[in-house]
Amino acid sequence: MKVKILFFLCFLAIITLSEGKEVWKPPKEFVKAKVLRVIDGDTVVVSIPEVKFNNRKKLKNLRFTVRLIGIDTPESRPNRRSKIQSEHTKKDIKTIIQLGKKAKEFTQSVLRKKGKKRLFRTVFLEFDVQPQDRYGRLLAYVWLPDGKMLNEIIICSGYAYPLTIPPNVKYKDRFLKCFREAREKQRGLWKK
């Protein structure tokens, strides 16, 4: 009995000490970044603490807009893209924007530090074949400190459509499977 109690207390201590720390070790080619804000359900602004340039100079606190690869959430404000989504889905722009705000809120809730309203997590960026789009945004798969991929969480939870744009297709099959399951099980935006 005493051994069981001791084991249980050690287990609790390990969980308590590791809470909030990186448990999952990202591959060394991933780039560590701090989320500063969420623009849309599929777009965030990050700060990269330090980047080596020409293997000797260090650039610090670079800010980038990151577009999550492989997913597309409804727009959260009126723009050209919301009009396209409206035409494609046959829903009015007001509905598209309401759905976009829900997707944005979901993404914010996943990225927020526990118990904090305005502080966001540190994440890891994984790039595919094409690291940047024509608008200058970084294109990335965003990994959380626990080893879960944000892109996948969003689409599996029913807040995004799959959006495959070659050559960035590494996880397209996973995203398509998640999308179908979310629609089938009426998760997120697909609730009736």
30 Cβ partners below 8 Å, 6+ apart?
124, 125, 126, 143
* Active-site residue, 80 included: no
Cross-strand partners of 140: 68
The verdict on whether 87 is a catalytic residue reads no
Cα distance between residue 35 and residue 15, in whole Å: 25
Reported as type and span, the H/E element at residue 67 is strand 57-68
Could you say which of 75, 121, 126, 152 is catalytic? Answer: 75
Q: Is there a contact between 34 and 47 (Cβ–Cβ < 8 Å)?
A: yes
Tell me whether residue 184 is one of the annotated catalytic residues.
no
Q: Which of 81, 105, 112, 137 is catalytic?
A: 137
Looking at residue 149, its amino acid is M
What length is written for the chain? 192
Half-sphere CA count of 11, side-chain side, radius 13 A = 6
Q: Please identify every residue annotated as catalytic.
A: 63, 75, 137
